[in-house]
Amino acid sequence: QGDENPVGEEETTIKLYYVNDEYVDTGDESLDKVIPVEKEVALEGKKVEELIIEELQKSPKDKNLSTFLESLNITNVEIKGDTAFVDFSSKNLHGSSLQETLILQQIVFSLTELPDVEQVQILVDGEKQETLMGHMEITNPLKRSDVSF
């Protein structure tokens, strides 16, 4: 896969939030839990919100960062009004409260970088659930302030 884009290919810069491995390793609360990385991506006919989630599911280039979304299956991403809806398959949906918090931070912080998105509604198998992995409430749409700890 080459990095060259055909002429006229629409590109955009997205800001992705990846997990800070140092925070995970040390538990040092003074560190940022997730760290933003700007990335140029070709839209290739996709919606920018879909690309953000796709990119979050790939390992970041920076060796000090990681993603907790690699093993998760996200079946749909769409924006309605000021809310992004992210639908997870219930398959492989388990983890610690730390993992759950960081997954929600990665998604909410990254998607709310989009100008129209104020909040993110997490769904599981197309339905609202009480929690993603049993720890944090996701019944209502999440704003950045809801997942900032």
Q: In this predicted model, what pLDDT tens digit does every residue of 12-43 receive, in sequence order?
A: 999 999 999 999 999 999 999 999 999 999 99
Token code pair at residue 45:
């006919």
Q: In this predicted model, what pLDDT tens digit does every residue of 48-85 receive, in sequence order?
A: 999 999 999 999 999 999 999 998 999 999 999 999 99
Token code pair at residue 130:
């009480």
Given a contact cutoff of 8 angstroms between Cβ atoms, the answer to whether 20 and 118 are in contact is: no
- Model pTM score: 0.91
Other Cβ atoms less than 10 A from the Cβ of 79: the count is 16
**The pLDDT of residue 1:** 45
Give the Cα separation of 69 and 31 in Å (integer). Answer: 21
| Sheet strands side by side (includes 65-66) | 34-42, 11-20, 65-66
Nearest to 57 by CA among 44, 70, 45, 75: 70
